[in-house]
Amino acid sequence: MSTSTAAFEIGAGTGKATRQLLALGANPVVAIEPDPRLAAFLSEGVAVPALRVVNSAFEDADLPPLSFDLGICATAFHWLDESSALRRIADAIRPGGWWAPFWNIYGDPNRRDPFHEATLDLLASGPANPSNRGHPHLEFGADVDARVSALRAAEAFDSIEVHQSTWSVTLNGSQVVDLYASYSNVSLRSDREAVLAELGRIAREDFGNSVTRNITTVLYLARRRLSE
């Protein structure tokens, strides 16, 4: 990545992906985060001249037209209206620049996930996961046909690519609780604390305090067309 690469990030959160952009040399980086607490955390934690944190919904953020070489979104694009968001993204990226949303999705169709299976009933009564919007059995980021169709329908991108990789992470009971506490469909539950406590108990007692979760990373790359 060139040190002159101008980038924006949608839904920067605590800044995990933001830090990587900066480390790779992107400058400037505009990190858009609607939650004022997370925006403040990122501003205070990564106080470098190359970074500008915008506390705003993406729909309201001021992104000058054709000003960016790269736009990214890490496991958050499903919160937006896809078609209108893609129009805003296309307007912000220079011809030849790239749009790169990606998701880390828990699960791998080729490997069993015993902890997921053991907790299905516990989590079944909670609110719907927004990342499953539009498809009850397939997460938004994993629905490759739908995401590629949306990119094509925007009529602003070409050279569309999809890259997938699988990996795993091993967590103890406390880490399992921390992970699930970050899930919106858990944090919004009225019985949140009881559910988290039970998840921790299952991890400790039924899995020997060592839970392996399978993860699939799905990355989409789409180049802003050189000409309309």
10-residue block means of pLDDT along the chain (228 residues)? 84 94 96 95 94 97 96 95 97 98 89 92 72 61 96 97 96 95 83 96 98 95 88
177-196 residues labelled b (16+ CB within 10 A) or e (exposed): bebbeebeebeebeeeeebb
Position 136 scores a pLDDT of 47
Residue type, 197: A
Alpha helices in the chain (DSSP H): 16-23, 36-45, 82-92, 114-123, 144-153, 173-181, 184-187, 192-201
Position 2 scores a pLDDT of 56
Are the C-beta atoms of residues 169 and 92 closer than 8 Å to each other? Answer: no
Position 137 scores a pLDDT of 54
Are the C-beta atoms of residues 32 and 12 closer than 8 Å to each other? Answer: yes
Query: Three-state DSSP class for 9?
Result: strand
Query: Three-state DSSP class for 176?
Result: helix
Q: Which residue matches tokens 């690469």?
A: 5
Identify the structural domains of the chain with CATH numbers, from first to last. 63-224 (3.40.50.150)
Longest dimension (CA), the chain: 59
Position 185 scores a pLDDT of 79
Give the pTM: 0.84
Are the C-beta atoms of residues 213 and 223 closer than 8 Å to each other? Answer: no
Q: How is 96-155 classified by DSSP, letter by letter?
A: EEEEEEEEEEE-BTTB--HHHHHHHHHHTTSPPPGGGTT-TTS-GGG-HHHHHHHHHHTT
